[in-house]
A and B are shown apart, each in its own frame.
Chain A
């Protein structure tokens, strides 16, 4: 297993897990969220190709109400 940080919290994922796999685990729709991995935005078209590495830091954001 690898240890990654997702939205500030540690999480274990299997070796070979992609960004898309993790979104699936979390029940998130990849069309409605944006993923930033180690400060780099992962394009929607790339989430199935990007494989997670140990100690990756991931932020998953979306639109909420704001002024």
Chain B
């Protein structure tokens, strides 16, 4: 039998392009909370992600052997996206973004300004202000936000290179709670929509991509799985499947049955 293998990513009419840079993988993954550096790198490779997030923190001067993540991650293999995780004010977020730019090789930043410790939901006022400041400084800003259309439109106006709404709270694994809002954002914004946070398992990732969004960013779903490398593999397939299903265009839903086999030609 002849089998034809199609490169779906190459057939995508609308490849993921952020800030003038095109990515083949629509999956962006975080590097936090894995067992060790070896597992981190193995999971990143299994995910197929080209862009990975990193955090900026103080060097622990008391540790006997303090290791930078850069000892294990080759910036030629993965495009590093520094985040401002843990920042609660515009000032802190801008400070961390500048440190990340100096530590890394690009002026890209995953901008987080958290407004509440319990939910880790964003402070959208401070997020907007920080976006404006960093865009003015030449940063390519990818803000993590809630799934509110008006905030997303303001972030786009402020110069965000992509808008990254949550599926559900960071680290919750609850999956996509409001597909309607996510579809609204995708319909109304011109910049890429990357769903960031909340995906728990492969079906969540697939269902999220089926809303037509441009990509997904996840960390805990991989790192907190019993087998992170296997979950990274599953997520890669789920993101590809969801994207292909979106491009394919799903059949309409009906509330009654329609036979798949011919109703004619039945025996007497």
Contact = CB atoms under 8 A, between A and B. Distances in A.
B32 interface: yes
B59 A62 contact: yes
A28 B30 contact: no
A41 B170 contact: no
Nearest to B219: A67
Contacts of B220: 67
Interface residues of B, number: 36
Contact of B85 (A41, A59, A60, A67): A67
B165 interface: no
A6 B31 contact: no
B103 A34 contact: yes
Interface residues of A, number: 24
A64 B95 CA distance: 17
A43 B98 CA distance: 11
B31 A65 contact: yes
Interface stretch (B49-57, B203-211, B236-244, B259-267): B49-57
Interface stretch (B7-15, B64-72, B177-185, B187-195): B64-72
Secondary structure dominating the interface of B = mixed
Interface in A47-67: 59-67
A8 B69 CA distance: 22
A41 B94 CA distance: 12
A67 to B, nearest CB: 3
A7 interface: yes
Which residue of B57, B100, B220 has the most chain A CB atoms within 10 A of its CB atom? Answer: B57
Contacts of A29: 68
B58 A66 contact: no
Given A34-B103, A41-B99, A63-B82, 9 more contacts: A29-B68, A32-B68, A32-B70, A64-B56, A64-B68, A64-B69, A66-B219, A67-B83, A67-B218
- List 5 tightest A-B contacts by C-beta distance, closest first: A66-B55, A67-B30, A67-B219, A65-B31, A62-B68
21 contacts: A6-B61, A43-B102, A60-B58, A61-B57, A62-B56, A62-B68, A62-B103, A63-B54, A63-B68, A63-B70, A63-B73, A63-B103, A64-B55, A65-B33, A65-B40, A66-B31, A66-B55, A67-B32, A67-B33, A67-B170, A67-B217
